[in-house]
Amino acid sequence: MGTKVGFSPTAILCLLLLFCLGCKCLASEFEGTQTATVRVDASPGLARKIPDTLFGVFFEEINHAGAGGIWAELVSNRGFEAGGPNTPSNIHPWSIIGDDSSIVVATDRSSCFRRNIIALRMEVLCNDCRAGGVGIYNPGFWGMNIEDGKTYNLVMYVKSPETAYLTVSLTSSDGSQNLASVNITVAGTSNWTKLVQKLVANGTNRTSRLQITTNKKGVIWFDQVSLMPADTYKGHGFRTDLTSMLLDLKPRFLRFPGGCFVEGEWLRNAFRWRESIGPWEERPGHFGDVWHYWTDDGLGYYEYLQLSEDLSAAPVWVFNNGISHHDEVDTSIIAPFVKDVLDSLEFAKGSSNSTWGSVRAAMGHPEPFPLKYVANGNEDCGKKHYRGNYLKFYNAIREAYPDIQMISNCDGSSRPLDHPADLFDFHVYTDSKTLFSMRNTFDRTPREGPKTIKLWFLTVNIFVNMIRAQAFVSEYAVWQSDAGKGSLLASLAEAAFLTGLERNSDIVQMASYAPLFVNNNDRKWNPDAIVFNSWQHYGTPSYWMQTLFRESSGATVHPLTINSRYSGSLAASAITWQDSGNISFLRVKIVNFGSHAVRVRISTTGLEASVNELGSTVTVLTSGNVMDENSFSHPKKVVPVKRQLPDAAENMQVQLAPHSLTCFDLTLTQSKLVILTEKGDEYLRSGI
């Protein structure tokens, strides 16, 4: 009788359990640290110079980026025009001090400025009014940042038939804390008088207001009341803290002033450069109906050009081409708009003797601005009159300014444009996976140029259906749920996308993130690169990610290959660049978009220089949670962390953190490092 070997149901269950556990262990082994090899081929023959213009910034008047943002003016609605030209009008955010039985304020059309005719008439009914007097106050843009010891320049226009006694003060938002105060006597006259006064703060308050009070009966008119901090960047009116954030990006261009802001929902509300230049008091201001707020246009066309100069960035002027979101000018009657744009170019580039160049000179800039790029509208390619209008602008500008590079709104990334252009706009807002995968988009862009036909007597370039334009990725960002108000996840997908732009920088000439700024009190668009309020600011991870690409413009890009089972989650690029002290670096940036650590070996071939351990660094942008964001309370939660790389060598093994951007900067000892010139010619630099 043989022995029967049998398994009880309990034993079978146990065995199954053990089997499952074993599988799980194996699986987690597989899912654990991944490996990859990144091979950089630095052979001179494969190296290519990246355009000097590759990475810049796009400044749009959105989210109060300008008014109540980088433009340091503290008074909102300084000319009382925001309520419109009809009187009486709303004077928001101005308000009264004292009860309304003692004071009556109303707008009328008595200004001394023709283009902004509205002024404020204040009638004081009390004599020896109660302590503190009655009057008006302006809270600025969600409160004025007044800092102890700092000077504020007040300018205002007043008119009073009888002598008036005013007190101008900076106070806390409820008026209880006095930060600065000055008494002003206004001589009685029927003419307008310009008053200029310095106020020095004796305390700090981040949400202050400007008060103008009196305690004597009478009638006084006010107009164009301005309060500017004395210390603005280079004295040009830009908030220093926000400007330094831009300088840290080393932007090679500044695209301005929009975006949809340029178009308007309706043409009557579009940005008009002509209305934004000249003495600030005379600018009418306008209501930007796309982002729904009034701008006094203190930050006007001239100031945008000035900001470009201050940032050493090439200006990119996006002009309105007779098209808004809801109305369009027919091509047959577009001529005045073309003339208007030609005038704007003369204003920027003309000699100081020219009609418009002289206006620029009178504003303080006799030298022309080096305006070389203009964009013909914004996101208008599909509009009925776009192509017709485009050609009218294109031909007129080409003839008058052959050096100007023109940007079309039509996408030429997958097929050549059907009209002449130097660059085409490419905008992308999407989820993180899609943007990560778009790192290869420009690999597929046609490279061929215009067809050239040689006849025996002349050479003709055929421009029909075969225009080679360079790409200007003028707006890119991850948005919606993957981005929140600016997540690490978004910045990683964007970094991967940018490595693709570096690789394809033979066809991609320029790129900028969007939007650049948000005032935390008026978030019209999420996410943004730089968040601020009246006195604080921080960069989102997308801002910090861009700082790791700031050396790429004008550098040399090298091909690389990634070998890994995990390569679908990796993106990388390699450049060589020189710092201001002429020290050369090989920079390898690797995005690990996946949730596993990666042990990566970086190797180089063809490098005609040796890697020096001294000075080599590794910088990592990561965080505990891929959805982590920065905030006013934790402004540096997700920022790049740099450390020395102790064992730099040509064959390096390093660990990439999950969800990270890692930037290796390997110092090169230049025995014979090939640098590419603008034209792609090589020259050799000798050792350091």
The footprint of ligand AHR (CB under 6 A) covers 60, 62, 258-260, 378-379, 427, 475, 514-515, 525
Nearer to ligand AHR by Cβ, of 19 and 266: the residue is: 266
Nearer to ligand AHR by Cβ, of 139 and 527: the residue is: 527
User: Least CB distance from residue 263 to ligand AHR, whole Å?
Assistant: 8
User: Least CB distance from residue 57 to ligand AHR, whole Å?
Assistant: 12
User: Least CB distance from residue 484 to ligand AHR, whole Å?
Assistant: 17
What is the distance between the alpha carbons of residues 509 and 531, in angstroms, rounded to a whole number?
A: 27
Nearer to ligand AHR by Cβ, of 61 and 309: the residue is: 61
Q: How many CA atoms lie within 13 A of 64 on its CB side?
A: 20
Nearer to ligand AHR by Cβ, of 59 and 137: the residue is: 59
- Please name which of 268, 273, 271 lies closest in space to residue 260, comparing C-alpha atoms: 271
User: Least CB distance from residue 276 to ligand AHR, whole Å?
Assistant: 18
Q: Is 520 helix (H, G, I), strand (E, B) or coil?
A: coil
Kind plus residue range of the DSSP H or E element containing 306: helix 301-310
**Helix, strand and coil in the chain, % to nearest 5:** 20, 35, 45
Q: Determine the residue with CB nearest ligand AHR.
A: 259
Nearer to ligand AHR by Cβ, of 62 and 666: the residue is: 62
52 Cα distance to chain centroid: 18
What is the distance between the alpha carbons of residues 137 and 216, in angstroms, rounded to a whole number?
A: 17
Q: Is the distance from CB of 600 to CB of 35 less than 8 angstroms?
A: yes
User: Least CB distance from residue 477 to ligand AHR, whole Å?
Assistant: 8
Give strand ranges (E) for 536-608.
537-539, 556-558, 560-563, 570-578, 584-592, 598-605
User: Least CB distance from residue 328 to ligand AHR, whole Å?
Assistant: 17
For 62-205, where are the alpha helices, taking DSSP H only?
none
User: Least CB distance from residue 208 to ligand AHR, whole Å?
Assistant: 31
Kind plus residue range of the DSSP H or E element containing 40: strand 34-41
Nearer to ligand AHR by Cβ, of 156 and 260: the residue is: 260
Give strand ranges (E) for 215-313.
218-229, 253-256, 286-288, 293-295
Terminal C-alpha separation, the chain:
91
Nearer to ligand AHR by Cβ, of 280 and 517: the residue is: 517
Q: Name 36's bridge partners.
A: 600
Kind plus residue range of the DSSP H or E element containing 194: strand 189-200
Nearer to ligand AHR by Cβ, of 291 and 347: the residue is: 291
Sheet holding 556-558, edge to edge: 48-49, 556-558, 570-578, 584-592, 660-669, 610-621, 641-644
User: Least CB distance from residue 81 to ligand AHR, whole Å?
Assistant: 24
User: Least CB distance from residue 181 to ligand AHR, whole Å?
Assistant: 42
Nearer to ligand AHR by Cβ, of 224 and 378: the residue is: 378
For residues 631-655, one letter each, b for 16 or more C-beta atoms within 10 angstroms of the residue's C-beta and e for the rest, the string is: eeeeeebbbbeeeebeebeeebebe
Nearer to ligand AHR by Cβ, of 229 and 264: the residue is: 264
User: Least CB distance from residue 420 to ligand AHR, whole Å?
Assistant: 23
User: How large is the C-alpha radius of gyration of the chain?
Assistant: 30
Q: Kind of pairing, strands 34-41 and 134-138?
A: unpaired
